[in-house]
Structure 1
Amino acid sequence: MNLFEQVHDRSNSRSVKWGRMEKVYGIHDASDILPMWVADMDFPAPPPVTDALRERLEHPIFGYSYICEECKTAAANWLEKRHGLGVETDWMLFHQGVIPAMASIIDVFTDTGDHVLVTPPVYPPFFSIPENLGRSVLYSQLTEQDGEYAIDWPDFESKLEKARLFILCNPHNPSGKLWAAEELEKLVELCARHDVLILSDEIHSDLIHAGETHTPLLSVAGSERDRIFTCIAPTKTFNLAGIQAAMIVTADPDKRMRLERHMQAHGTGSLNAFAPVAWKAAYEQGEPWLNQLLEVLAHHIEYAVERLEREVPGLKIRKPQSTYLLWIDYRALGLTEEEAMSHLLEKGKVALEPGSKYGAAGRGFLRMNIACPKQTLEEGISRITSAFR
């Protein structure tokens, strides 16, 4: 049995996905509920990564660690090979994760009361982090037609007049949309016109499906590259979220210096002893595993979309161009979000994410994680169809 078919019991591994549903969903007992919500995979990490971690464990001292030059070079080589993006290792700063990295960028380059622009529906920390840091969030809702999202350019530019920073989700979470180069070029042009900085979260950029292309924002920025911060990590790609490692890429040395000073002030500049080990092994030896994963995900997407749309008339799902997430449109069922979630949790015994978590623009949708063995996926779909039947 290969890595992507075997079912692993995660119930006693301190897994947020499997062990925190009572708290997240406000239910008394979730022991019989199948989790298909938070974005981590029920697949083992690449064997070269676990082998490297096992070898590191043989050394019994776990003192302070740092990201070595080989780690930086591995990341640079990966970005060049997978995305055609040339990045200097001097442009890299390291952090405990993309969310903490985002918080640092917002804290350093905006002030209390400044406006941060987001385009919902979008990953919740895009608006919760600025709010918690005392910033004002501006919302330019994406337009949607049959599951396809686009920027409302007139509204977007009007909001840029007030904004100090725009946060881009590239690829887009939750829909799995890949932004076209032309869209990104226009976005950079408008932000430059209004002197707005751009934070591009590209953590899903390796999970690109066959025939599709991810365009890094830096690759189309041209002379405006110094206004861009790109957040990248191997953790989503290789299912290493608990290792907690990410990097900020910025070409502007002044911005790097200011970020380094902030990290020193807050003690966030170092990574745990396992992060550099996993980082280097993933980027140097993880590609065969990733290519196999993408084949599995492609089959899963085809299977899930076909079954869900056939067995629950009214559900509509646009196949994602990236990620392992389905953005399910249930508006035709005539259910409120509260009713839909009640059906899923109480009748179907399956946990998906409510669309409103991604902003008011997400109401009427559900986010489903299909990165699990086929056996688990089949069971999950059966539970969903039971819930809505």
Structure 2
Amino acid sequence: MRKLTVAIAVGTGLVAAWIAPGWTQSPAAKTPIKVGVMYPFKGPFAVLGELQLVGMKLAFDQRGNRIAGREVQLIVEDDEAKPDVGLTKVRKLIEQEKVAVLTGIVSSAVAYALRSAVHDAKVPLVITMANSGGLTRDQRSPYIFRTFQPGGTGSYYMGKWLYDRLGKRKAIFSGSDYAYGREHAEMFKKGFESAGGKVVAEVFAPLGTADFGTYVTQIGRAGSDADVVYIVYSGIDAIRFVKTYAEYGLKDKLTLANWGATLDGKSGLGAMGDAALGAYQIATYIPALDFPANRRFVESTKQKLGYMDPLVQMGHIGGDVIARALEAVNGSVEDTAGFLQALRRVQFDSTLGPFKFDPQSQNVLANIYVTRAEKVGGEIQNVLVQTIPEAKDPWWLEQATR
């Protein structure tokens, strides 16, 4: 996809400025704030990038499309969910476009690939989706933040919850065969087995698998020795897996649970239909969250877009956090140290509930939610089952005990 430049401005035309004698206008006040945005728009993750970009644009649009009198430009690049492409594009954004801040990223593999380029250039990066746990653990950087839970955090807590609350004892894990799925497999196993359970099998499928029949068959064969299947797939892979799981008759035999696969909206439940009914999910967000900020966001998003999707929220909160930090420094993004400090201090009542960054990791420190897919008024929705408050990355909890 060619580069997209989205100039966010209230209107078009020339702006005349009358400067009183003795007053000067700083260069920063005249120049736009450039925000580099990277998402995939091709392949199995395309819908994840497209909908998050909608939310990202919306966050700035809701502020009158200017911050501290400066125009904001979103410089959008397609990383194709490929590490080599992502690295090339991020270098272009930094070196040629001279962006002041970076955001986006869906693929964990892409996020890992660009870590050194971002750190060495000292350009702040706010990740809105990529789990890539290492980037806020042993490979952390003062320039990297994340508004989404890091690699395997939700799966760790869900492993414990399935054992403690649903009484599950033997699990099968299935996920995408790259960093994202592997990190979740490790953390789910830690959570489930530390509670007393046992992961009896792991089944990984390549990204972009067209037919999950072979993998679901493997799960079925191992299923006689299990009472729950836990999956970590995204985008079209999640839709294909859940449908195949039901078609092969496993839906009513083995409880299906997941991290972020059975999302609300057209990117998840809307495409899965009844195949997803009864599935348990752990997620950072569902549209049904009963917070004032979320009620306003869902209503305004539906009015503006005609629909609501959790992926829109993921992009929106990333843009919202960046905008709040920019507002805190009066648009002076050129002061990198001051802008980084403003990012670290962002704290507000958000669509997720209370929002703040963990000072150790620079991950979001927010609630995560266990849900169940049910029919509500003839529509399949995720219904809240339990809230896990301020779910800290378990990697950091382990470090504290050493």
TM-score normalised per structure 2 = 0.34
If asked which structure has higher relative contact order (CA below 8 Å, sep 6+), I would say 1
Q: Could you say which structure has the higher strand fraction?
A: 2
